[in-house]
Amino acid sequence: MRALNLFAVIITGIILIYGTQDMPDWADPRSPASTHVSPRYIEKTLEETATPNAVTSVLADYRGYDTLGETTVIFAAGISCILILRARRQER
């Protein structure tokens, strides 16, 4: 069974390494991620949001909905800690 697991891991690893052959190079300006919306954000961020840090303007303005979800996830983590750990109070 362990030999089979090792075999599955090695095969998966070979497939993943083969898949990286098609990945764009580091900092390739013509990679799909750099040609879609990134240039527009970089060019217009100062003009549209008056924020020099493009990361902040994408995080909180262009992708503000996403960040709202992230904050909700953190809030949910706190609430679940309260629900799981403080539920023991009532049992006593």
Partner 1 sequence: MTRVTDDIIIRTVARVLIPFIQLYALYVIMHGHHSPGGGFQGGVIFGASFILYLLTHGLEEAKARMSEMKAGLFSSFGLLIYSGIGLLCLIMGSNYLDYGRLSTILRVIPAQARSLGILGVEIGVGIAVMAVMFSIFFDIATGGEPPGGEESFGDRDG
Q: Smaller CB distance to partner 1: residue 32 or 78?
A: 78
Compute the distance between CA of residue 21 and CA of residue 14 in angstroms, rounded to an integer. 11
- Closest CB to partner 1 among residues 31, 61: 61
Name every residue whose Cβ is closer than 8 Å to that of residue 41 and which is 6 or more positions away in sequence.
54, 57, 58, 62
The residue ranges that bind partner 1 (CB under 8 A) are 47-53, 55-57, 59-61, 64-65, 67-68, 70-72, 74-75, 77-79, 81-82, 84-89
**Measured from the CB of residue 9, what is the shortest distance to partner 1 in angstroms?**
34
Complex with partner 1: residue 6 or 55, whichever CB lies closer: 55
Residue 54: exposure state from Cβ atoms within 10 A (0-12, 13-18, ≥19): middle
